[in-house]
A and B are shown apart, each in its own frame.
Chain A
Amino acid sequence: MDEFQPGEETSFVVDEVSAIIKEAIESAIGGNTYQHSKVNQWTTSVVEQTLSQLTKLGKPFKYIVTCVIMQKNGAGLHTASSCFWDNSSDGTCTVRWENKTVYCIVSAFGLAI
């Protein structure tokens, strides 16, 4: 690991990742209304697409992508995350998305190797 110099392209760029996540959500859920039978497929699709796009960036990171899809029912929801990592090299990006019937929260964590 000594010869691998950390440079501009090996840090977690939040904007880039945020754009990737938004695109994945739009393509998977888009304007659909909540359907219990389809939720499984949606979450899988969001997570897989996000992860494959992140891999294409080609950065030396391990990724963890979490997706929560909830039906809009007037209920309250809180999410919190805490990470034990190296602040200088690792990062996270969380995107909250909603439409008329669905709340979607996607978090992507990138940990440098």
Chain B
Amino acid sequence: MAEQPSAEVSVPAQAIAAGSTEAHPLRTTRRGSQPFARGTEEGKPPLLLSRRSSILSTLPAALASRRSSLGAAPGGRRPSIGPWMLHSRVSFSGLPLFQPILKTRLENTYRIGPDEGCKFNAGRVQRVLEGALTGALETMVYTPQGSALLAQNLVEMLQSRAKEVVPPRYKLVCHVLLGQQAQQSLLVASQALWDPKSDSFASATFSNASLFAVATVHGVYFE
């Protein structure tokens, strides 16, 4: 555990040291070439050695600055390597560690279709839709601003009503069309790719003098 933080931290710290604006005299004399190009030129080893030590000395500083950006800085301390490891442990525990989200593993139910008598009852859902639409829209008048909100509320209400009568393990898709009655022509069509034995849909319409509404609920069995 002691090794791990240092391994993780040293790489980004080196990157930070390379890119930092702390003007190290050795780096400036190297004319902006890659600071970590190793052993390609003559006479570099002595420079490398001294550079390595300088990197080590700047490492805690870089870390301290990084820690301050993360909001866990304990104040301008420049520890050496030993206490740095200890402090690194402290700072890591001070960081907000999120608990891993436990994914609940559900047992296999070995069901591939709905139970007998537990299917999507299209007739029942249609009656529910018709009743809900009539109840909600009987006295309504179409208004351009209000009807957008009315459509949203209506679809949510229809969904909750449909959920009550639909068997479990069914996914629902509710679609409502609300329009102004103005002597125009309209056609609504839908097609689906599903398992016809278990999935079905129900639709209902309503119209009065100023508006019309078409509601469709598709029920899809979820394995």
Residues facing A in B165-223 (CB within 8 A) are 171-195, 199, 201, 216, 218, 220, 222-223
Interface contact B222-A113, CB-CB below 8 Å: yes
Interface contact B174-A83, CB-CB below 8 Å: yes
Interface contact B189-A67, CB-CB below 8 Å: yes
Q: In the complex, A86→B147 CA distance in Å?
A: 28
Interface bracket on A: 35 or more
Per-residue contact bits, chain A 71-83, to B (CB 8 Å; 1 contact, 0 not): 1111111111111
Judge whether B67 is part of the interface by a CB distance below 8 angstroms: no
* Contact A73:B183 (CB < 8 A) given known A47-B189, A62-B192, A65-B192: yes
> What residue in chain B is nearest A92 (Cβ atoms)?
B173
User: A63 touches which one: B108, B144, B187, B192 (CB < 8 A)?
Assistant: B192
Interface contact B155-A80, CB-CB below 8 Å: yes
Judge whether A68 is part of the interface by a CB distance below 8 angstroms: yes
Judge whether B84 is part of the interface by a CB distance below 8 angstroms: no
Judge whether B91 is part of the interface by a CB distance below 8 angstroms: no
Residues facing B in A62-111 (CB within 8 A) are 62-86, 90, 107, 109, 111
Interface contact B185-A65, CB-CB below 8 Å: no
CB-CB < 8 A to A111: which residues of B? 171, 173, 220, 222
Interface contact B180-A83, CB-CB below 8 Å: no
Given A78-B179, A79-B151, A85-B172, 9 more A-B residue pairs with CB atoms under 8 Å apart are: A2-B108, A36-B185, A47-B191, A62-B199, A64-B220, A68-B189, A69-B189, A83-B171, A111-B171
- Which residues of chain B have a CB within 8 Å of any CB of chain A? 108, 142, 144, 147-148, 150-152, 154-156, 158-159, 163, 171-195, 199, 201, 216, 218, 220, 222-223
For the complex of A and B, 7 pairs with smallest distance between CB atoms:
A75-B182, A43-B189, A73-B184, A80-B151, A84-B172, A66-B190, A78-B151
